[in-house]
Copies of this chain bind each other. A is one copy, B any other.
Amino acid sequence: MNIRIAQINPIVGDISGNFELISKTIISSPEHSIVIFPELAITGYPPQDLLLDSKFINQAQDAIKSLKSNVQKKVAIIGLPRYYEKNLYNSAVIINNQKILGYHDKVLLPTYDVFDEKRYFKSSNMIEPYEISLDGKVIKIGVQICEDLWDQNYDLSVSDELIRKGAEMMINISASPYRKNVIDKRLKLCLDKAKHLKYYFIYCNMVGAQDELVFDGRSFIINSNGKNKLLAKMFKQEILDFNFNQASNNKDVQVSSDVLEEIFKALRTGVRDYFSKTNFQKAVIGLSGGIDSALTAALVSEAIGPDNVYGISMPSKFSSNHSKDDAHILADNLGINFETIPINNVFNEFLNHMDVFFKDTQIGLAEENLQARIRGNILMSIANKINGLVLNTGNKTELALGYCTMYGDMCGALGVISDLNKIEVYDLAKWINSSKGKTIIPQNSIDKAPSAELRENQYDPFDYEIIAPLVDLIINDNMEKQNLIDIGYNEETIDDILNKIYLSEYKRRQAPPGIKISNKAFGIGRRYPIVNKYKGS
């Protein structure tokens, strides 16, 4: 008997394409296999409001029904949305030798952070194991879907209930997005459950990116004594086969724990899939000579190839020579296309025409933002002309503080590093240089003081060593003011940062989607009012 985990990368809404992928995998699997696919494999995850379209659901259900005949002398377990008695469920179908043995409908529906499952699905109260028979062997399997495993904050444990009812082997099908250190949490949870099983705990996760989310894969099989038997790759499609009867043939695999490598692969996948799934090839990136744009360009080059990347340096009269040089050196190091388009004449032309509002006023925010927006215009124009996408280069710390210009440096189809704080930006840049064994990102971009260069002698008005972790404690960990004071932050600093975060909500409402790598990213999983007088203190 063979267990096959199909760690696939479906595309949201591509029912026929996902059907092909699933069907092919089932047909190619050996007889007497249990073939396992991720949560909502037929629709991709998350389909969001497509789930409100009954035609979409019916197409997904029909596709799964038409798969039945391919499941000869095999068991297939596949995630799909399904109507049952007028309600919609997030389900797993269990097909056994051309017959639908039954369904497990998801019980625990996450409705926090990026998840809105109660918006769409009804929670099931049926928790029953299924008996499958393969190759003369009869096993009682418990099937569960993603959150069904994460039962710490619920009154009910799906795993416990399945085990109580006799499940000997557990199969969890997931669409669990990457965030730092998540693999440790998943393994710990499954190890706890596996102890009570006769056979294996099988965890099948989705892989690939969808808008803000990246699914990291890393599906695994562990045995009942809690030993780590097999682990699929991260951020790669993989068919993981496991011989049920020859456990000793399967070698243990250690979980990689280099978080920077994980983040690198997550972001590369996020960019790569955004391009491939929307059929774009070319990327346009503004290169300031600073660390954020340098890191972004390096990541995008890795994702779609340097030939497809256009780095544009757009110096103003405030741009230092070293900035221009650093941008050029970076482009050479990466082997990407590079052009310089100065903005000063356009800037002056704008000002000439706006004299009625600008004459005799103090130079300030309006002039600074205008420069950023001219750059945004240039990038968008080039992208329109070459049929490419602008990629956004902002980091999480500046996005939190509102230290960015709407329609200027905030433009782009996708935020590549928008969930990395400023310290992580430096760390990842250094990691790339080190892992490549040569300088990709110029040392000067790493060493110099960060500056927007929108006026003379301007430097970022933050000590990022203090501010970046503080912002993360507020955003990622939802830490309150008193706790921040208790761990040593200055009250005035905290108030200033809280105020900046709450006040800049209006900017983030119009920010591009950004690839999520933390437990709380800006974007669909964080929903704050714009009009709001509460400032956290």
Show the binding face of A for B, using Cβ within 8 Å.
11-15, 17, 46-50, 52-56, 111-112, 116, 118-119, 209-211, 273-274, 277-278, 339, 341-343, 345-346, 349-350, 352-354, 356-358, 361, 365-366, 369-370, 373-374, 376-378, 380-382, 384-386, 406-407, 411, 413, 478, 480-481, 506, 509-513, 524, 526-536
In contact, B366 and A384 (Cβ under 8 angstroms): yes
Given contacts A528-B48, A528-B50, contact A534 B56 (CB under 8 A): yes
Given contacts A14-B534, A357-B382, A385-B358, contact A529 B373 (CB under 8 A): no
> Which B residues are in CB contact (< 8 Å) with A478?
52-53
In contact, A211 and B529 (Cβ under 8 angstroms): yes
> Which B residues are in CB contact (< 8 Å) with A533?
11-14, 17, 277
In contact, A55 and B529 (Cβ under 8 angstroms): no
In contact, A370 and B377 (Cβ under 8 angstroms): yes
CB A57 to nearest CB in B, in angstroms, measures: 11
> Which B residues are in CB contact (< 8 Å) with A352?
345
* Smallest CB gap from A405: residue in B: B380
In contact, A357 and B376 (Cβ under 8 angstroms): no
Quick one: which of B358, B381, B530 contacts A211, CB cutoff 8 A?
A: B530
7 A-B pairs (CB sep. < 8 Å) = A13-B532, A48-B528, A49-B526, A56-B534, A211-B530, A354-B381, A373-B407
CA distance A312 to B12 in the complex (A): 42
> Which B residues are in CB contact (< 8 Å) with A357?
339, 381-382, 385-386
In contact, B377 and A350 (Cβ under 8 angstroms): yes
In contact, B380 and A356 (Cβ under 8 angstroms): no
CB A177 to nearest CB in B, in angstroms, measures: 14
Quick one: which of B353, B384, B413, B534 contacts A342, CB cutoff 8 A?
A: B353
In contact, A531 and B366 (Cβ under 8 angstroms): no
In contact, B12 and A531 (Cβ under 8 angstroms): yes
CB A165 to nearest CB in B, in angstroms, measures: 26
> Which B residues are in CB contact (< 8 Å) with A411?
406-407
In contact, A361 and B377 (Cβ under 8 angstroms): no
In contact, A50 and B529 (Cβ under 8 angstroms): yes
CB A510 to nearest CB in B, in angstroms, measures: 5
CA distance A411 to B210 in the complex (A): 26
In contact, B366 and A341 (Cβ under 8 angstroms): no
Pick from A56, A341, A380, A534 the residue with the most CB of B within 10 Å.
Answer: A534
In contact, B356 and A339 (Cβ under 8 angstroms): yes
In contact, B350 and A365 (Cβ under 8 angstroms): no
| Apart from A12-B529, A111-B118, 15 more pairs, CB < 8 Å | A50-B528, A111-B119, A339-B356, A350-B378, A350-B381, A354-B385, A357-B381, A358-B381, A370-B381, A373-B376, A373-B377, A373-B381, A377-B407, A406-B411, A510-B510
Given contacts A48-B528, A118-B118, contact A350 B346 (CB under 8 A): yes
Interface pairs A-B: 5 shortest CB-CB: A13-B534, A366-B384, A14-B533, A13-B532, A407-B407
* Smallest CB gap from A59: residue in B: B534
CA distance A512 to B406 in the complex (A): 11
CB A345 to nearest CB in B, in angstroms, measures: 5
Given contacts A112-B119, A346-B349, A411-B407, contact A531 B274 (CB under 8 A): yes
> Which B residues are in CB contact (< 8 Å) with A53?
478, 480, 534, 536
In contact, B527 and A116 (Cβ under 8 angstroms): yes
Given contacts A382-B354, A533-B14, contact A511 B513 (CB under 8 A): no
In contact, B118 and A48 (Cβ under 8 angstroms): no
> Which B residues are in CB contact (< 8 Å) with A513?
509, 530
In contact, A531 and B277 (Cβ under 8 angstroms): yes
Given contacts A366-B385, A369-B380, A384-B369, contact A211 B531 (CB under 8 A): yes
Given contacts A350-B381, A411-B407, contact A534 B15 (CB under 8 A): yes
> Which B residues are in CB contact (< 8 Å) with A384?
365-366, 369-370
CB A456 to nearest CB in B, in angstroms, measures: 19
> Which B residues are in CB contact (< 8 Å) with A346?
346, 349-350, 353
Given contacts A116-B527, A513-B509, contact A381 B356 (CB under 8 A): no
> Which B residues are in CB contact (< 8 Å) with A116?
111, 116, 119, 527
> Which B residues are in CB contact (< 8 Å) with A339?
356-357
